[in-house]
Structure 1
Amino acid sequence: MRFRPLAKARSSAGATFGGLPSGFWWLWAAQLINRVCGFVMPLLAFYVTDELHYNAAFAGAVVAAIGIGSLVAGPFGGILADWLGHRPTLVGAQAATAVAMVLLAYARSPWTLLVGAFVVGVVNNATRPAHNALIAEVVPSKDQARAYSLNFWAINLGYSVAMLSVGLVVFTGYTALFWLNGATMLISALLVALRVPGRGRTPAPADADGNSGGGFGAVLRDRAFVAFVIAEFLVLTILYQSESGLPIAMGRDGFSPSTFGQVAALNGIVIAVAQLPLTRLYKRFPESRVLAGSSALIGLGYSVLLLGHSPWIYGASIVVWTLGEIGNTPTSFAIVARISPEHLRGRYQGLFQVAWTGSLVVAPLVGGAVINAWGAAPLWIGCLVVGAVAAAAQFRIGTRLSRRAEPAAAAEPAASAGPAAPAEPTRELTPP
């Protein structure tokens, strides 16, 4: 009896961490290393104003240049990943990011800063479609939801450590942080190049007339997937009020940046504590229900702010929408990985990334405009309404996409059972 809790803990740990290929864990380690030393992006505005003595408006323009580069990077990185292969694209983009980070540290004129920030935005975010597609390449379909959940966990663990370490700038100066960020990118590239397997480019299958089924047009013609990207864009626009509407509202309520940072840290704490057990819980339900419930929970979390203006209310809001974030992010990436044909995985991930980068641009514009015109309450009501609409859409779309993913999951064991398996295009899914 006394050993039952220990046995249960071991069983849970095995269900969470066991059975995944070593290639995934090297990818996971590379992701964690990147995030632990990811100082440049969060500190860029401070660097431009404090170190280079430009005004806040220009600092905003430099950060916006990264956002514009990120928008370009999704489709560009996806096409490159399908053309060159997922692993070569990831390694090349990480190496390019390392160089771009270091060069940005020595940019001084307005134009070199803007161009340098744009280039960093492109090459850094070009890693994401390749990274997510490579997870789908090395992890069997049945384990992909768990793998994306662990990847999301690594991102947030690393980010939390980086944010706790930003005080290093007092001792090292900003330039050293650029070099450290670049060096860890290069280390990650070497880990992926040396330890992660990759098949290289997957050729597009030809139809009966000999025409290949590739190109971004094939992705855009997948209407169910495009609708899914739009629904996810709505959800993420709500979620990213954490970086726009939330700090503005707390500032209007008289809270200091320090208080905001302490309250916002709840997001990383909840993810670190609850991510893995909730992932096991969410696996019991259909993915469409997890997506719909998570979207509704994100909208509901922001509506909690209608109840008052105390730090406790803000903290409760963050806890609620973080629980929704935990369900939404890994599940959505797993669905995209499973419905995308092998030769288009990079492009599918690239278009899906547009929902993320686009929402990062739109969320602050919407949040700031609504609060400036009508106050915070209409913004939180809007989050609740949009969350409910997106939840209904994701339930319907997610059900359709999950059904498409089922044949691939069923066929995957057969694909690796014998020598003749590679000749069968069992993972090539045709859009309905």
Structure 2
Amino acid sequence: MKRILSIYLDSFKGLSQAAWLLAIVMLINRMGSMVIPFLGLYMTQVLHFDIKQVGVVLMSYGFGSVCGSYIGGWLTDRIGSFKVQFGSLVLAAPLFLLIPHFKEVQSLSIMIFTLSLIFDAFRPANSVSVASYAKPENITRAFSLNRLAINLGFSIGPAVAGFLATISFNWIFYGNSFAVLCAAVIFFVFFHKREKRSDIKSKKEIIPENELPQKRRNPYTDLPFVLFNIFCCIFSFCFFQLITTLPLFYREVHHLNDHQIGFLLGWSGFVIVLLEMFIVHIAEKRFSLISTLVFGTFLCASSYAMLNFTGGLGWLYFTFFIFGLGEMLTLPFMATVSVNRSTPKTQGAYMGFNSLAFSAANIFSPLLGTSIVDSFGFKTLWWATALTLSATAIGFYLVLKWMK
């Protein structure tokens, strides 16, 4: 037991002060994660949209996320990550307050697109900051610490949102706006005068010491990286069922109330908060990046397949636990691949492309997911998702072998 505790504590050692400060900002920001997990329920219960209309609005979120990821990465390489992150937070806060005033499919879609574009410009800039402030040997753990903050916030946000939704769904928009504004203020205080590390290097597990020719340092012409991001997109296509169709599944099939759904969505984040740094620390030392990504993807596939087996509330919590383990072994290491593949002058573009891969899934994931449910039911959706993730695991294995 002492040995395990020692390893667990070691996983937090060596991280820079800036990495911890970035995590604090991210924690406050994600404690306001109330709108997106409950957006589908808001549209069906308050606005009385049918499931296809819900898919259309959520698809607009995906389009905005794609544009935001690209623009955020492009701007980061030109004006710096601080300005992009601060601007994103400041502009997003009032948009959350405006959304409840738009109640038609078309107008709400435009607002969600705008919000997503501005809010997701934050992501590639934040990833560049994490890599820039991290010590070279701790990049993956720095990303894990940032994700720990995200998931701790996400474990709190939906639980609070479930409570606020019983009062009025409008309160989840107010809460989200307040959290984003607080994050903007604290981010400015912490980082407006803080300098980054001047020499950014990383362990070259994915590429050899002699870097790729400079002409290939564009992420959009780096063929192995393009294929890697295609598989990241497919992975996230399945991953985002977590916040689109899964809450509807809990409501319609298992008849859970808002409180139960909120706590269940927060459970995965709570597991990740407890275990991710420990598991990433072990994975970095004991396993290759390739085997970690492949195994984590298979775990996510298994969790979706498990949803088709009967069980009570405890079974749903267990499936989410398995999904959380898979998430811990995939997402931090995907970011590490992107950082290691880039050069200091193209980090924004590389991280932006990787963020874009996740954002692109948001375009069709909600619409296709809800359409499959509408036509064939949840059981078909979960089997299809599990099979797709299994194929993605094989794809990761092949493309990372090629990179290495």
Matched AA of 1:95: V
**Distance (whole Å) between structure 2 residues aligned to residue 251 and residue 171 of structure 1:** 18
Cα distance, 1:182–1:306 mapped onto 2, change above 3 Å = closer
Sequence identity percentage? 21
1:197 maps onto 2:224 in alignment: no
Report the Cα distance in structure 1 between the residues aligned to 2:144 and 2:289, rounded to whole angstroms.
13
- Counterpart-to-counterpart distance in 1, 2:294 and 2:56: 35
Distance 1:394 1:173 in 2: 41
Alignment partner, residue 386 of structure 1: 388
Using the TM superposition, give the Cα deviation of residue 154 of structure 1 relative to its aligned residue in structure 2, in angstroms. Answer: 0.5
What CA distance in whole angstroms lies between the structure 1 residues aligned with 2:104 and 2:376? Answer: 39
The one of 100, 114, 123 equivalent to 2:118 is 123
Whether the 8 Å CA contact 1:93–1:126 is kept in 2: the answer is yes
Partner of 1:242: 242
- Tell whether the 8 Å contact from 1:37 to 1:162 is kept in structure 2 after alignment: yes
**Contact persistence 1:91–1:193 (CA under 8 A):** no
Hey, what does 1:395 align to over in structure 2?
397
Q: TM-score, normalised by structure 1?
A: 0.77
Matching of residues 337-416 of structure 1 within 5 Å = 337-401=339-403, 403=404
| Worse-matched range after superposition: 268-277 or 164-173 | 164-173
Aligned equivalents of 1:49 and 1:303: distance in 2?
A: 26
Larger Rg: 1
Q: In the TM superposition, what is the alpha-carbon distance from 1:350 to its structure 2 partner?
A: 1.2
CA distance in 2, matches of 1:306, 1:285: 31
State the AA in 1 paired with 2:143. Answer: Y
- Structure 2 distance, partners of 1:366, 1:111, is 19
> Is this contact kept in 2: 1:40–1:181, CA < 8 A?
no
Secondary structure at the counterpart of residue 316 of structure 1: helix
1:187 equivalenced with 2:188 (yes/no)? no
Aligned to 1:421: none
Residues 397, 261 of structure 1: CA spacing in aligned structure 2 closer, same or farther, 3 A cutoff? same
Provide the alpha-carbon RMSD of the alignment: 3.3
1:224 maps to 224
**How far does residue 168 in structure 1 lie from its aligned partner after superposition?**
4.7
Following superposition, the deviation at residue 80 of structure 1 comes to 0.6
Shift of 1:351: 1.3
CA deviation profile, 1:49-89 (whole Å, cap 9, x unmatched): 88xx7442677655544332112111111111111122222
The Cα of 1:227 is off from its aligned counterpart by: 0.6
Residue deviations 1:295-318 (CA, integer Å, cap 9, x gap): 111112222234335444433322
From 151, 157, 167, give the equivalent of 2:152.
Answer: 157
Q: Which amino acid aligns with 2:185?
A: I
- Displacement of 1:139 in angstroms is 0.9
Q: d(CA) in 2 for partners of 1:352 and 1:68?
A: 15
In structure 2, the gaps of 5 or more residues are 201-212
Counterpart amino acid of residue 333 in structure 1: A
2:127 is matched with 132
Distance 1:54 1:367 in 2: 20
- 2:143 alignment counterpart: 148
Deviation, structure 1 residue 48: 7.0
Aligned to 1:56: 49
The alpha carbon displacement at 1:223 in A equals 0.6
Deviations 1:353-406 (A, max 9, x none): 1222222333333333333333444333323322222112212222344x4xxx
Aligned to 2:305: 303
Alignment size in residue pairs: 384
Q: Which region of structure 1 is more displaced relative to structure 2, 171-180 or 22-31?
A: 171-180
| Structure 1 stretch displaced more, 158-167 or 90-99 | 90-99
Q: Which one of 86, 89, 109 corresponds to residue 91 of structure 1?
A: 86
Residue 81 (structure 1) aligns with: 76
Determine the C-alpha separation between the residues in 2 that align with 1:199 and 1:378: 49
Partner SS for 1:281 = helix
- Rate the CA distance shift 1:252–1:117 in 2: closer, same or farther, 3 A: closer
Report the secondary structure of 1:17's partner residue: coil
Match of 2:320 in 1: 318
Unaligned segments of structure 1, at least 5 residues: 203-211, 404-432
Letter in 2 for 1:280: H
User: Cα gap change, 1:117/1:199 in structure 2, threshold over 3 Å: closer, same or farther?
Assistant: farther
Give the distance between the partners of 1:42 and 1:334, measured in 2 at CA: 27
Q: Relative to structure 2, which stretch is displaced further, 157-166 or 147-156?
A: 157-166
CA distance in 1, matches of 2:107, 2:180: 18
**Separation in structure 2 between the aligned mates of residue 172 and residue 376 of structure 1, nearest angstrom:** 26
1:93 to 1:367, Cα distance in 2 relative to 1, 3 A: closer
Partner of 1:256: 256
Higher RCO (C-alpha under 8 Å, 6+ residues apart): 2
1:175-223 Cα deviation digits (max 9, x unpaired): 74355134213224313533642379x9xxxxxxxxx9689x9211101
Greater shift in the superposed pair: 128-137 or 338-347 = 338-347
| Separation of aligned partners in 2, 1:381 and 1:66 | 25
- Whether the aligned pair in 1 keeps the contact of 2:29 and 2:180 (CA below 8 Å) is no
Q: Residue 66 of structure 2 aligns with which residue?
A: 71
The residue number in structure 1 matching 2:275 is: 274
The change in CA–CA distance for 1:221 and 1:327 in structure 2 (over 3 A counts) is: same
| Alpha carbons 1:253, 1:309 under 8 Å: kept | no
Change in Cα spacing, 1:367 to 1:45, as seen in structure 2 (3 Å) is closer
Give the direction of change, closer, same or farther, for the CA distance of 1:369–1:289 in structure 2 (3 Å limit).
Answer: same
